[in-house]
């Protein structure tokens, strides 16, 4: 979603605004702009499309300013044109916004009736117009608060006011906004990555907060207007984390980061020396009657894999639901149920709302997150971090396997706590889990085999992914990955559902990816494979050496992942489907790291 940066600097900010916006590119965007206090007042430069277009504009018409704001826009209201690109202006006000102003239509009508003229299709412009109106009779901070009191919705805002050349105002209601503390310089940003090159000292605004920054520091206020302190934290980050290294895309790098990301994550959930689980947070799994997992997209699918692992091993019921449905359908909840939010960003609006819904009903909460400074991490009782490093590619890969690693450790820990396995079995399963990073690395080595299928799959109009047991959610993930970065229509199905409808789609033009390691489901999956082949379907069979030996003859392509214990099969089988999506997208020349229409951090519902 939209990225925001604001700098109250002591030297030119143009290049720093652009540097920061480049760090925010991963969130997804379709236009960009910056503004600053120039010698003759506020100046702004904007461009549709990628940041390089804005850089071209700046090359011909640079911005001279040491205080300024920048924005990457992910269009919600109005197409991604220069005119709709932020910053937006009205009278003395220039501002950038991430989120949605829900009551913009009624505010716009009111402002128009007063004779105010609008020049964009955006919801954002009403905030600029409102603030300009309030400034006619109030000082900047007072006018800002009066404006915030009138708008409804989800927003992070950063504002410049003509004549107030040492001041930026910011506000947060929903999407995150952080305050960065530099040496004689101050920053506002969508996340700590945005200000990473300039400072690692940040404070996280809470919902409802607004802030004024100038060269002397920051003044933060609660919604009521009461001054409040938000603690300054030192966030660990290195600029090197943002580099692609020798890889062409962040997604490719992040697929290859997985053995290390999972290894670091698993190390935080087991006691390697003692050989037992060591899940942080002190949750008493024996006392739980149910776990409710909520998440969106890939994070939801990681949760679904968690259900397949936790229920049989720990005999603990696990419900998993997409957060956008859960939050509105008035689910029946009990306080002896633990809600577990899964979210890479820790900011996804629907997941956050689902989490808060459960908390309001007395449930204890946990979050499996990558961003440990995120809103979810700060609001839950127990944080279960993943340790895979920042994920930049819009398509989630290494966060997914790290999330599954955490859930696998939890499954084993819960099984032991609930007396379903003894210590010897716990030791065996922990040893299996600790083997996963090495086997994931072997699985990634299948790159060449997967690449050789990519051309054929890239020509398909539709692709089906089938799996049983934990391979079913992985089939869903394979389909999601392929469609989001290659724009090929793909569907995942439980293989047993094939005959109940999807088999009608099978013909010689539709590749069918069947995920089937040699496990207790194998024979049934092999039968499904025969049914597909009998109808001319082109099967891509992803299995292991034993499965390859027992496979019905005739699969077009067999990708043979390493043999492993069923506990870690979802981790080991993930890389082939990620690589398939990646190479198909590369084959099609698609924008792998920033697929069209997608945003990395979905902070509006
Ligand atoms: C798909 C993908 C998305 C996210 C979803 C949730 O590759 O990345 O489906 O998984 O938007 O995001 P988080 O995990 O940040 O809550």
Q: What is the per-residue pLDDT across 116-160, written as a single tens digit (0 to 9) for each? A: 999 998 999 999 999 999 999 999 999 999 999 999 998 999 999
Which backbone phi and psi does 194 adopt, to 5 degrees?
A: -60, -35
How many angstroms is it from 498 CA to the middle of ligand 1?
27
How many angstroms is it from 221 CA to the middle of ligand 1?
32
Asked if residues 567 and 408 have their Cβ atoms less than 8 Å apart, the reply is yes
How many angstroms is it from 299 CA to the middle of ligand 1?
6
Candidate from 27, 391, 396 with most ligand 1 atoms within 8 A of CB, to mutate:
396
Bridge partners of residue 215, in order along the sequence: none
Looking at residue 240, its pLDDT comes to 46
Residue nearest to atom 10 of ligand 1 (CA): 298
Separation between Cα atoms, residue 138 and residue 336, nearest integer Å:
51
Ligand 1 atom closest to the Cα of residue 399 is 14
CATH 3.40.50.10490 occupies which residues in the chain? 254-436, 445-587
Separation between Cα atoms, residue 254 and residue 344, nearest integer Å:
13
Q: Which of 2, 358, 388, 564 is catalytic?
A: 2
Separation between Cα atoms, residue 124 and residue 100, nearest integer Å:
8
- At residue 399, the 3 state secondary structure works out as helix
Looking at residue 597, its pLDDT comes to 80
Distances (CA, A) of 313 to 412, 422, 436, 459, 464: 7, 12, 18, 41, 30
Q: Which of 307, 364, 483, 600 is catalytic?
A: 600
Measured between its terminal Cα atoms, the distance across the chain in Å is 11
Residue nearest to atom 7 of ligand 1 (CA): 395
CB-based burial of residue 233 (10 Å sphere; 0-12 exposed, 13-18 middle, 19+ buried)?
A: middle
How many CA atoms does the CB half-sphere of 502 hold within 13 Å? 21
Low-confidence ranges of the chain (pLDDT < 70): 237-242
Ligand 1 atom closest to the Cα of residue 400 is 10
How many angstroms is it from 343 CA to the middle of ligand 1?
7
Q: Which CATH class is domain 3-242?
A: alpha beta
Candidate from 26, 190, 297, 370 with most ligand 1 atoms within 8 A of CB, to mutate:
297
Candidate from 193, 255, 298, 580 with most ligand 1 atoms within 8 A of CB, to mutate:
298
CATH 3.40.50.12500 fits 254-436, yes or no: no
How many angstroms is it from 400 CA to the middle of ligand 1?
9
Helix (H) and strand (E) counts in the chain: 20, 27
Query: Quick check: is 296 catalytic?
Result: no
How many angstroms is it from 344 CA to the middle of ligand 1?
7
Residue nearest to atom 5 of ligand 1 (CA): 297
Asked if residues 461 and 509 have their Cβ atoms less than 8 Å apart, the reply is yes
How many angstroms is it from 571 CA to the middle of ligand 1?
18
Looking at residue 272, its pLDDT comes to 86
Peptide bond into 170 cis (omega under 30): no
Looking at residue 53, its pLDDT comes to 96
Ligand 1 atom closest to the Cα of residue 394 is 8
Ligand 1 atom closest to the Cα of residue 345 is 15
Looking at residue 78, its pLDDT comes to 84
Q: Is the dihedral of CA 94, 98, 103, 108 positive or negative?
A: positive
CATH of domain 445-587: 3.40.50.10490
How many angstroms is it from 463 CA to the middle of ligand 1?
21
List, in sequence order, every beta strand (DSSP E) within 330-447: 337-343, 364-369, 382-385
H-only helix segments in 26-92 = 51-60
By residue count, the chain amounts to 605
Residue nearest to atom 9 of ligand 1 (CA): 297
How many angstroms is it from 254 CA to the middle of ligand 1?
15
Separation between Cα atoms, residue 192 and residue 200, nearest integer Å:
7
Candidate from 296, 349, 385, 386 with most ligand 1 atoms within 8 A of CB, to mutate:
296
Separation between Cα atoms, residue 193 and residue 219, nearest integer Å:
22
**Ligand 1 site, CB within 6 A:** 296-299, 343-345, 348, 351, 395-396, 480, 484, 601-602
Which residue from 412, 435, 424, 432 is spatially nearest to 313, judged by alpha carbons? Answer: 412
Query: Quick check: is 358 catalytic?
Result: no
């Amino acid at each position: 979603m939209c990225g925001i940066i604001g700098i109250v600097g002591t030297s030119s900010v143009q290049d720093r605004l652009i540097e920061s916006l480049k760090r925010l590119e991963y969130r997804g965007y379709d236009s960009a702009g910056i503004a600053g206090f120039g010698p003759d007042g506020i100046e702004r430069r904007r461009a549709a499309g990628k940041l390089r277009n804005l850089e071209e504009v700046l090359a011909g018409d640079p911005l001279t300013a040491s205080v300024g704001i920048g924005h990457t826009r992910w269009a919600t209201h109005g197409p991604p044109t220069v005119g709709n690109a932020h910053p937006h202006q009205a009278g003395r006000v220039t501002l950038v916004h991430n989120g949605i102003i829900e009551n913009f239509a009624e505010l716009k009508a009111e402002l128009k009736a007063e004779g105010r003229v609008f020049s964009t299709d955006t919801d954002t412009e009403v905030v600029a117009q409102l603030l300009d109106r309030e400034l006619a009779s109030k000082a900047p901070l007072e006018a800002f608060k009066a404006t915030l009191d009138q708008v409804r919705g989800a927003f992070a805002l950063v504002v410049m006011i003509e004549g107030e050349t040492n001041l930026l105002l910011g506000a947060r209601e929903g999407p995150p906004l952080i305050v960065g503390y530099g040496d004689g310089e101050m920053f506002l940003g969508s996340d700590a990555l945005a200000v990473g090159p300039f400072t690692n000292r940040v404070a996280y605004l809470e919902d409802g907060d607004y802030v004024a920054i100038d060269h002397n520091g920051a003044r933060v206020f609660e919604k009521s207007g009461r001054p409040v302190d938000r603690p300054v934290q030192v966030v660990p980050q290195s600029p090197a984390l943002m580099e692609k290294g020798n890889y062409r895309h962040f997604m490719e790098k992040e697929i290859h980061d997985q053995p290390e990301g999972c290894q670091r994550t698993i190390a935080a959930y087991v006691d390697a020396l003692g050989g037992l689980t060591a899940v942080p947070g002190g949750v008493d799994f024996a006392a739980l009657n149910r776990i409710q997992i909520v998440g969106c997209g890939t994070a939801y699918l990681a949760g679904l894999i968690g259900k397949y692992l936790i229920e049989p091993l720990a005999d603990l019921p696990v419900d998993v639901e997409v957060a956008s449905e859960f939050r509105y359908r008035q689910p029946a909840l009990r306080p002896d149920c633990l809600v577990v939010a899964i979210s890479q960003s820790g900011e996804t609006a629907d997941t956050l709302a689902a989490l808060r819904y459960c908390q309001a009903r007395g449930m204890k909460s946990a979050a499996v997150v990558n961003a440990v400074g995120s809103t979810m991490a700060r609001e839950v009782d127990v944080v279960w971090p993943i340790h895979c490093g920042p994920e930049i590619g819009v398509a989630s890969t290494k966060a997914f396997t790290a999330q599954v690693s955490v859930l696998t450790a939890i499954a084993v820990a819960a099984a032991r706590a609930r007396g379903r396995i003894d210590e010897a079995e716990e030791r065996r399963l922990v040893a299996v889990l600790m083997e996963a990073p090495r086997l994931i690395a072997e699985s990634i080595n299948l790159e060449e085999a997967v690449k050789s299928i990519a051309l054929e799959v890239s020509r398909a109009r539709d692709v089906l992914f089938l799996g049983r047991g934990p391979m079913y959610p992985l089939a869903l993930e394979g389909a999601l990955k392929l469609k989001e970065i290659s724009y090929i229509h793909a569907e995942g199905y439980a293989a047993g559902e094939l005959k109940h409808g999807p088999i009608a789609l099978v013909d010689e033009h539709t590749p069918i990816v069947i995920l089937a390691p040699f496990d207790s489901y194998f024979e049934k999956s092999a039968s499904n494979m025969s049914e597909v082949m009998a109808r001319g379907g082109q099967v891509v069979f992803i299995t292991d050496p034993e499965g390859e030996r027992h496979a019905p003859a005739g699969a077009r392509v067999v990708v043979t992942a390493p043999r492993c214990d069923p506990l870690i099969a979802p981790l080991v089988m993930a890389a082939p489907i990620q690589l398939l999506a990646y190479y198909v997208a590369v084959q099609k020349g698609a924008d792998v790291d920033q697929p069209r229409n997608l945003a990395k951090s979905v902070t509006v519902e």
